Structure 1
Amino acid sequence: MSQTDPERVEQVRANLLDARSRIEAACTAAGRSPEEVSLIAVTKTHPASDVRILASLGVTDVGENRDQEAAPKAEATADLDLTWHFVGQLQSNKARSVARYADYVHSVDRAKLARALGKSAAEAGRELTCLVQVDLDEESRPGIIGPRGGVAPSDTLELADRIEEQDALSIGGVMAVAPLGGDPSAAFARLYEVACRLRDRYPRATVISAGMSGDLEAAVERGATHLRIGTALLGAR
């Protein structure tokens, strides 16, 4: 293992303190407890050494967007007690690889992918928690997956049922990305409504994965339980 760069450790430590301060301030403004909100460090394009630094600072929820980067990174840090979140768009042919290391898949947006993940997780002897990715674009239509991934809000419950049909999968909640150029607060308010309907059917599906470095305050205001933070922690990619 290469020697950790002390300067990088201090840089990440300072960024983490700033991010946590933002989250705490957002929670105070929303009348929520910071204990209700989990930070997922998205380490896309950053090395496994950064994952180790984050773990040393107490961050053990790690997110990745691409399997070809995530799989070797998860292997390289297998000695750490990490929870891996796959948060990017996922092709069904990558399901077998992702099912070997991911604990959560945030980006399930079609029944075919749910079946592929369920089959692969069962073969690997693992259980995965899956989130339905919801398309928050106001132009989203039932039966159509948005360009950035995600089902129309009205399709969420049906897809959750397809996830629950898989013995090795469980429905954990919802995930979304705020539409480009839109009002993130309004978008996340729509997501919260979807999350409430899902939770009525599946009470354990409590996760609302929403908000990134640029819009975490709006996400916290609208009930997010998990924030996917990359740039604010590790710098520009």
Structure 2
Amino acid sequence: MADQARRAELAASLDEVRERIARACAAAGRDPGEVALVAVTKTYPASDVVLLAGLGVTDVGENKDQEASAKAAEVAAAGVAVRWHFVGQLQRNKAKSVVRYADVVESVDSLRLASALDAAALRHRGTPLDVLVQVSIDGDPARGGAADSAGDADVDLWRVTDAVAAAEGLNLRGLMAVAPRDWEPGRAFERLAELAARLRRTHPGATVLSAGMSGDLEQAVRHGATHVRIGTSLLGMRNPLR
């Protein structure tokens, strides 16, 4: 009964989120099929991932390796296949673990991390790892992200994107960003769209733009997001794992 109740809760939330995406696309003159939903299930159990997959969700995001690796194994043991996105800040020493289960790493923000993931992917995967380079919209290094015209070459956006594109074990798919708290989201995503357009001039295949969360998905869709990362609006305030 508990699973049935949770499934109904998730189904209702999923319908609402999909309707929000559809309305945002209509307002922007876009096809809703252009915007993929990544369900961010951090702190929520593997059983929620299984239920969401049964409701048609194909992409799932996690932000901590220890939780994500265990959850991915549990979901796989249940016979369920989803596309795992690692969306949190990633330490280089976790690269060997992450490449074993993640299909996409959305938070590559330095040359050193790109190198570590490349080496791990070549050793532990049979195919290149899809990568998004995380952008620092405001240039604040504490928040993660590579910056346009950064003084530190290790976190220079264009050096990092070029390095990912050149890496044998990685596949540059595009950019990801979180709107800074002190920025109006529309302004942040407009800036991100400008950077994405510049990236596509040199790397035409880097077409993914992961932007927008529960509170600002509409603004992200307006400025070209191809993926939105939704947690609270989808999973609600249910008691988390911890």
TM-score, normalised to structure 1's length?
0.94
CA apart distance, 1:25: 0.3
- Structure 1 counterpart of 2:17: 19
Distance in 1 (CA, whole Å) between partners of 2:161 and 2:19 is 34
- 1:47-80 per-residue CA deviation (whole Å, 9 max, x = no partner) reads 0000000000000100001001000001111122
- 1:175-201 per-residue CA deviation (whole Å, 9 max, x = no partner) reads 000001310000000000110111111
DSSP 3-state at the match of 1:5: helix
- The answer for unaligned runs of 5 or more in structure 1 is none
- Structure 2 counterpart of 1:225: 226
Does the alignment pair 1:118 with 2:113?
A: no
Identical pairs, percent = 55
Distance in 2 (CA, whole Å) between partners of 1:4 and 1:161 is 49
Q: After the TM superposition, which of the residue ranges 122-131 and 105-114 deviates more from structure 2?
A: 122-131
DSSP 3-state at the match of 1:147: helix
Q: For the Cα contact (< 8 Å) 2:39–2:57, is it kept in 1?
A: yes
What pairs with 1:196-207 in structure 2 (closer than 5 Å)?
A: 196-207=197-208
- Structure 2 counterpart of 1:106: 106
What pairs with 1:50-129 in structure 2 (closer than 5 Å)?
A: 50-78=48-76, 79-126=79-126, 127-129=128-130
- Structure 2 counterpart of 1:214: 215
- Note the aligned Cα RMSD (angstroms): 1.2
- Structure 1 counterpart of 2:153: none
Runs of 4+ with deviation above 3 angstroms: none
CA apart distance, 1:128: 0.6
CA apart distance, 1:170: 1.0
Q: For the Cα contact (< 8 Å) 1:128–1:168, is it kept in 2?
A: yes
- Structure 2 counterpart of 1:162: 163
- Structure 2 counterpart of 1:147: 142
- 1:1-46 per-residue CA deviation (whole Å, 9 max, x = no partner) reads xx86100000000000000000000000111110110000000000
The size of the alignment, in residue pairs, is 229
Q: Which amino acid counterpart does residue 22 of structure 2 have in structure 1?
A: E
Distance in 2 (CA, whole Å) between partners of 1:24 and 1:153 is 32
Q: Which amino acid counterpart does residue 105 of structure 1 have in structure 2?
A: V
- 1:67-103 per-residue CA deviation (whole Å, 9 max, x = no partner) reads 0100000111112221110000000000000000111
Q: Which amino acid counterpart does residue 207 of structure 2 have in structure 1?
A: T
Q: For the Cα contact (< 8 Å) 2:92–2:112, is it kept in 1?
A: yes
Does the alignment pair 1:184 with 2:185?
A: yes
